[in-house]
A and B are shown apart, each in its own frame.
Chain A
Amino acid sequence: MNSRRVILTVRSNLVSRNDRTRIDKVNAELVTLTYGTIVAQLCQDYDSDYQEVNKQLDKMGYNIGMRLIEDFLAKSGVGRCANFRETADMVAKVGFKIFLNVAPTVTNWTSDNNQFSLIFEDNPLADFVELPDDGRAQDELWFSNILCGVLRGALEMVQMQIEAHFVSDVLRGDDTTEMRVSLVRYIEDEMPPEEE
C-alpha cells in the first residue's frame, strides 16, 4: 500500500521541453481522503439522499472528464480509436493506468460490440471506505460514481455519447466492482451556424 502512488498530473513547460515525460506523483491516501471527503460532504448536503449523491458525483465526474481527455491526449499522444472495442481497451489499459494506476478488465461484451463491463480488482478511490450503516447506503449509494461521469465526459469529447453506471461494488458486499458502459451513438461534427 505504502509504495503505491496515484499519478495525477504531468507538468511540462516550454523551457524544459525535455522534461515533458516527467510524471509527478501524488500520495494515494491523499486522493482517497480527498475523494472520500467530497462524498461524505455530499451525503451530508443532500441529507443522505443517495440517488442525488450519485447524480452529483456523476456530474462532477463529467466536468472532470471533459478536461481530463485533453490531458490524456496530450500525454499519451494517441489518435482516434478505430472502433468501440479499441476504445474500451484504451480506457482500461491506458486511461485508468495513467490517472489511477489501475487497469480494470474489459469483459462481458454484447454481440453488437456496443456494451462492455469494466471490472475493477483494485479501486484507489474506495480504500479505507465502509459505507454508512443506515440500511440504505448499501443499496443506493455508488461510492465511486464519479468514475462513470469521468468516462462519459471524456468520451463525449472524442465524439462518443455513452452511458455508464455501476452494477456491483465490493463496498456493498458484492464479489466484484463492475461498471457497465454502453455506446449510445457517435456524435457528428458540429457545423458552424448558418449565416443569414
Chain B
Amino acid sequence: MTVYSFYIFDRHAECIYKRRWLPRPTSVAGKSQIPGAVGSSGQTVRAGDDDAKLVFGTVFSLRNMVRKLGGEEDNFVSYATSQYKLHYYETPTNIKFVMLTDLKSPSMRIALQQIYINLFVEYVVKNPLSPVEHPGGVGVNNELFEESLEQFVTRVLA
C-alpha cells in the first residue's frame, strides 16, 4: 500500500502538521477545476495550505453528518473514492488525524491511533519545552516526531 499524505488538525480547526509522501493521482488534484476555468488566476495547482483546508472541511462536515445520523457516539472511519482512501481518527480532545492512502490499504484507524498514542503524545505533548498548543504547527515539527513518523510510515505501514 502507499501512503499519500498525512494531516493533523487541532481543536481550533488549524492544520498543525502536514506531510506528503507521494503526489496524489492527478485527477484528484484537479477534480475541483472546472474545465475552462483555468484562466488568469493561473494553473490552479492547489497551494499546500488550501489543500489542508479542503481536507478539514471535508472531514468536519462528514463527521457532523455522521453524528447527526448515527448519534453523538458515531464516527466515520474512512471513505474511498475511485482514486484514494481517506482515513480518519479523532481523539476526545478533538485532535483530528487524517491519512490519505491508495485503495488497496486496509483500515488505518489503528495506525492513526498508534501515531497519536506513541508519537504525538510522546514526542509532542510530553515535550515540556514545546508550547501546549501549536498555532502554525510550532512544536509539532520536532525531529523526534518527524523521524518516528517517517519510520512508522515507511517501515511499519509499507
A residues touching B (Cβ–Cβ < 8 Å)? 9, 12-14, 17, 20, 63, 66-67, 69-71, 73-74, 78-80, 157-159, 189-193, 195
CB-CB contacts below 8 Å: B75-112 with A: 91-95
> Of A17, A71, A193, which one neighbours B118 at CB under 8 angstroms?
A17
Residue of B nearest to A79 (CB): B92
Q: A10 CB to closest chain B CB, in angstroms?
A: 9
Q: Contact: A190 with B93, CB < 8 Å?
A: no
**Given the contacts A67-B132, A70-B91, A80-B73, A190 and B12 also touching, CB distance less than 8 Å:** yes
18 additional A-B residue pairs with CB within 8 Å, beyond A70-B95, A79-B73, A157-B94: A9-B126, A12-B117, A13-B118, A13-B122, A14-B118, A14-B151, A14-B156, A20-B117, A20-B118, A63-B132, A67-B125, A70-B125, A73-B91, A80-B73, A157-B11, A190-B12, A191-B60, A195-B53
B149 to chain A, nearest CB (A): 10
Indicate which residue in A14, A80, A195 contacts B92 across the interface (CB closer than 8 Å): A80
A71 and B120 alpha carbons, distance in the complex (Å) = 10
- Ranked nearest first, the 6 interchain pairs of A and B with the lowest CB-CB distance are A192-B13, A74-B117, A74-B121, A70-B125, A157-B93, A66-B132
Q: From known contacts A13-B122, A190-B12, infer whether A70 and B60 are also in contact, taking CB-CB under 8 Å.
A: no
Contact A190 B13 (CB under 8 A): yes
Q: How far is the CA of A13 from the CA of B122 in the complex (A)?
A: 8
Interface flags, B112-141, vs A, CB<8A=1, else 0 = 001011111110011000001100000000
Chain B 46-74: CB-based contact to A (< 8 A → 1; otherwise 0): 00000001001100100000000000010
Interface residue from B14, B93, B119 paired with A14 (Cβ < 8 Å) = B119
A14-B118, A80-B92, A159-B94 given; A71·B11 CB < 8 A: no
The answer, among A71, A79, A192, for a CB contact under 8 Å with B53, is: A192
Which chain B positions have C-beta within 8 A of A9?
126
Chain A residues, CB < 8 A from B122? 12-13
Query: Are B126 and A73 in contact, CB atoms less than 8 angstroms apart?
Result: no
Q: Given A12-B118, A192-B53, are A158 and B132 also a contact pair (CB < 8 Å)?
A: no
Contacts of A20 in B (CB 8 A): 117-118
